[in-house]
Amino acid sequence: MTSRILSLAVLAAAFAFAPSQAQAAGSCSGFAVIQSYDEETATAKIKYGKGSENQYFPKTEGAPNNSKLPKSCRGKVKKQTELVVTPTGGRMTVTQIRANYTGKMLNDTNDKSWVPTQIKQLVADKTKVVILVRPGLGKDAPLGITTIYLPVTEEELAEIARLEAQAVDE
C-alpha cells in the first residue's frame, strides 16, 4: 500500500513539473490578428481570437481543430502576446508565410525585407491568420511564430469550385 501511494506521489510530481506543450518543443496553433510588428526587435504583438475553419479549406497542417486556441496552449502561450519573428534565415529557421490552399511557403528567402513587409501588410489589413507558435532553441528561448497560414483567397475558392465541378462531371 505504501509503495502504491509513493508511486502515485512520484507520478503526480512528474505531471506537475512536466513542461507544457509549448515548453516541450511542441507547437501550438490558433487564430490570431497581428496587431503590430517591431522590425527593430523582430517581435510581433498579436491578439488571439476565434475564426472559421472554412477560411482555411483545405485544412492546413497546423490548423486548430476548432475555433479556439487549444486548451493545452492557453496557459503560457495565450498570455504571451509578443512573439519573436525570424525575418531572415534558411527555409527551416525563417518565419514561414504559407498559402493555405497549396500549403506552399511563399517567402522570398533572398529578400531580407520580404517577411517584415508581408507582416506589416497583415497588420495594416487586420487579417486574421492561423499562426504556429513554438519555443525557440535554448533553455529560456522566447516563444516565436514559426508559420503564418494565410486565409484562402477568392481565386483559390474559385479554383476549388472549378475542381469540384470537374470531379462531378467525370
Task: Write the pLDDT tens digit of every residue in 110-119.
Answer: 899 999 999 9
Q: What is the pTM of this model?
A: 0.72
Quick one: average pLDDT of 137-141?
76
Q: With respect to residue 114, please indicate whether it lies within any of the assigned structural domains.
A: yes
Q: With respect to residue 99, please indicate whether it lies within any of the assigned structural domains.
A: yes
Q: With respect to residue 11, please indicate whether it lies within any of the assigned structural domains.
A: no
Of residues 101 and 85, more confidence is placed in 85
Quick one: average pLDDT of 149-160?
84
Q: With respect to residue 5, please indicate whether it lies within any of the assigned structural domains.
A: no
Domain residues for the domain of 114 are: 20-169
Task: Write the pLDDT tens digit of every residue in 41-93.
Answer: 999 999 988 876 666 555 545 555 555 555 666 666 677 889 999 998 888 88
Q: With respect to residue 1, please indicate whether it lies within any of the assigned structural domains.
A: no
Structure confidence at residue 140 as a pLDDT band (50, 70, 90): confident
Cβ atoms within 10 Å, residue 35:
14
pLDDT at res. 13: 35
Q: With respect to residue 115, please indicate whether it lies within any of the assigned structural domains.
A: yes
Structure confidence at residue 130 as a pLDDT band (50, 70, 90): confident
In whole numbers, what is the pLDDT of the chain averaged over residues?
75
Strands 128-135 and 28-38: antiparallel
Quick one: average pLDDT of 13-36?
59
| The total number of structural domains that make up the chain | 1
Quick one: average pLDDT of 121-133?
92
149 within 8 A of 100, measured Cβ to Cβ: yes
Query: Cα-Cα-Cα-Cα dihedral of 35, 140, 108, 122, to 10°?
Result: -10
- Residue carrying the nine cell digits 507520478: 11
Q: With respect to residue 9, please indicate whether it lies within any of the assigned structural domains.
A: no
State what percent of residues in the chain have pLDDT above 90: 28
